[in-house]
Amino acid sequence: MRTTIFHSISAFCLVITLFIPSQVMAQDACVSGTSTVATVGCLIDNTDNVTFDLTGDILVGSDLSGIRLRNSDSNILNYTGNISSTSTTNSDEYGISVVGGNSNVITINGNINTNLSRGILANNGASNIFTLNGNINTTAASAYGFFAVADDDVTFTLNGNINTSGQDAAGIFLVAPTGYFNITLNGNINALGGSRSDSVNPRGIDVANSPAGSTITNLGIITTTAEVGGAAAYDIYVRSGATLTNLNNRQSGLTYYGKIPTNYNAVINSTSDYGKIIYSTVSGTTSFGIYPGSVLKSETTYASVIDGLESSNITAGNSGNYTYDGRTWAWTLANPSSNLWDLAVGSCTGCVKEDTQDTIEEIGDSIGLEFSQILHKGTSATASFANMNTYDCDLFDKEGKCYSVGGRHTDVNGNNDSDSSSSGAVFVFGNKFNENFRVSAFIDQQVDRNNPKGLKVHNKGPMIGGNLVWNQFANHLGFQVRAANAYQAKDMTITRSELGEAEAGVGKTKIEVQNYVAEVSYQFSGGDSFLRPYLADSFFRPYLAVRRAIIKQDGYTETGVENPLTYNTVKDKSTTIVIGMKAKYRLNPTFTLNGAFGVENDISNKVDKIQATSSTITGITPVDFNTSINKTRPVVTLGATYHIAPNKAFSAQAQYQELSYTKTTAKTVYFNYTVGF
């Protein structure tokens, strides 16, 4: 009875499609290139090798398609917009239809809504590729989200969702008598309309008359419902005349009716996230396997991966080895009860080494971020002398003394969504020897910080440094030469996380950083230029600086662990040239704006790799935590100074810069109060 009804439905669908070509004359041709599609939609007819980038919403009229390709080959169609229907009853309306076309690539960025009989139609073509990045929502009875009929070698990728609420509706209906299909679900199918009778099953995916070679990869969730007294609902429904070669499944509790797949592969992401399938009214045989890219845990049982099959239905795949990312697990299918099968994972070859390698790479990411933090703080303290006058004290009175107290906050954003931050109190002392020479020294005492993952940093002492400045003239015009240095030592505890077969490890080490800066600049007044009326109260200082930075992390051996790792000494040495412009503008006698822009370029940069060794684990490879050095980087500074009195001032500055560690940026805010004596 079910077979008779199905063939009647299929024949009806095929007949309907024969009338579609005569119905498209109400639409104009789609415009190639980038264009806005008419509200009534458009037609691509007998057109080959053309690209269409269409935007705009479409309101489909009765018995029409929003966008239709007819007898057209090798086109690229990118549509961004939403397609909806004017109908209040079921009619032969389609969101996107491809009839008689071959090798077209169709991407839909939007939704197909309301009472359409078909969301997407692929009819009587070959090798067409569809990608849906939006949703299909249908309310009509016997409607389909994606419908492929007499279409050979069709590929459909769902990144959104398909929702059907009409009776006897299916999310995907595949009638491909001569060619395979490839269906990938990254989104979900919700077939919630139930059934009108006990003869037609509600289904998420309905497969009929397909030859060998077809694949369904379900990485989402298929949900189906049946009305009370109606036929049972199934997530996947495979007819006796169809062949599903490969089924890859991540969903827990996927329901399956009919001829079982030739190969069934469970997707396993974790012990709580893995594929489980429930078979009903089955025929045929299958081979069980594990989907490539799955991550297994040794000595673990994944319960109920298969329900509803006899041992005679599983002709191969009762045991084997699964290899991924240098690891190999032994596994078997266990049969705890009559039709129930568990996946029992045994020992793993290579897991200890590979998992340990992964934990070392995690450490490398964190150390790279910490090095960036250190470098940036060093930049704020020393290289900033080349970019802005940050840790400086240049407000003197009769005794030629200058004192400054302030605060700093630095945020460093790194790879893998990791970040680090620190705050510090800053004290600066300056002494003017004469009108040309002065010296300053600073202390940056950290008061708070957010450590990168796995690191706990303790300052052995504050960051200290100083600079020596020579000015050509007492008013600071003309040439200026500056030399600066900063030094800091830190104690650091590094925790290597437990991962898979790798045990956690803890070690203690020390980091030392030194920065040296030499800068030459020339300041001139904007009032001396041809723009004097506008720049009379402004000053500009182009500068050229050279920075030498050295970071050293001592080697160490983990403690309190069964198989400790020993790490080498790591050094980061770089030489950088900085060129830019500083500027300030005096709004009035008490308030001054300042800013700077510079470009850093590393003329040399050498970073050691992290090498861990073990007496029990062989084959650990060095980790390069800075595989792609960002050699050229911008630095931008904005600030202001308010003079409370001739010898008292409050300043605030903000700096943004890219750092040498790829995709790492830093932002610093610095404020201070300065008094001259």
The encoded tokens of residue 89 equal 């009853």
Question: What is the strand order of the sheet 129-132 is part of?
Answer: 33-36, 51-55, 76-80, 105-109, 129-132, 154-158, 181-185, 215-218, 246-249, 263-266, 286-290, 314-316
- Average the pLDDT over 216-228 and give the result: 89
The encoded tokens of residue 6 equal 């199905």
pLDDT in tens, 323-338: 998 899 999 999 988 8
| DSSP letter string, 12-80 | HHHHHHHTGGGGGGGSPBPPSEEEEPPTT-EEEES--S-EEEEES-EEE-TT-EEEEEES-BS-EEEEE
User: Which residues are paired to 594 by β-bridges?
Assistant: 584, 639
- Give the residue from 161, 157, 70, 60 showing the smallest Cα distance to 110: 161
Helices in 379-479 by DSSP H: which ranges?
Answer: 384-387
The pLDDT assigned to 192 comes to 83
The pLDDT assigned to 373 comes to 55
- Average the pLDDT over 421-438 and give the result: 92
pLDDT in tens, 125-146: 999 999 999 999 988 888 899 9
| Chain centroid, CA 259 distance in Å | 39
The encoded tokens of residue 471 equal 């000015």
- Give the residue from 127, 207, 195 showing the smallest Cα distance to 164: 195
Of 3-12, 40-49, 461-470, 559-568, the range with the highest mean pLDDT is 40-49
pLDDT > 70? residue 384 = no
The pLDDT assigned to 500 comes to 79
- Contact of 139 with 165, CB cutoff 8 Å: yes
Neighbours of 39 (CB within 10 A): 12
pLDDT > 80? residue 417 = no
- Give the residue from 334, 260, 345, 258 showing the smallest Cα distance to 295: 345
The pLDDT assigned to 91 comes to 61
Integer CA distances (angstroms), 575 to 355, 425, 548, 586, 629, in order: 36, 28, 5, 35, 13
pLDDT > 80? residue 224 = yes
The pLDDT assigned to 605 comes to 85
- Give the residue from 73, 115, 72 showing the smallest Cα distance to 94: 115
pLDDT > 90? residue 203 = no
The encoded tokens of residue 370 equal 């910490």
Phi, psi of 60 (to 5 degrees): -80, 130
| pLDDT-based confidence at residue 379 (cuts at 50, 70, 90) | very low
Whole-number average pLDDT of the chain: 86
pLDDT > 60? residue 163 = yes
Integer-rounded Cα Rg, in Å, for the chain is 35
- Contact of 215 with 246, CB cutoff 8 Å: yes
pLDDT in tens, 394-410: 999 999 999 999 998 88
pLDDT > 90? residue 105 = yes
Neighbours of 446 (CB within 10 A): 20
CA distance 86 to 59: 7
| Chain centroid, CA 499 distance in Å | 22
Neighbours of 484 (CB within 10 A): 26
pLDDT > 70? residue 528 = no
| pLDDT-based confidence at residue 199 (cuts at 50, 70, 90) | low
pLDDT in tens, 353-376: 988 998 888 888 778 767 755 554
Percent of the chain with pLDDT over 70: 87
pLDDT > 80? residue 61 = no
3-state secondary structure of 5: helix
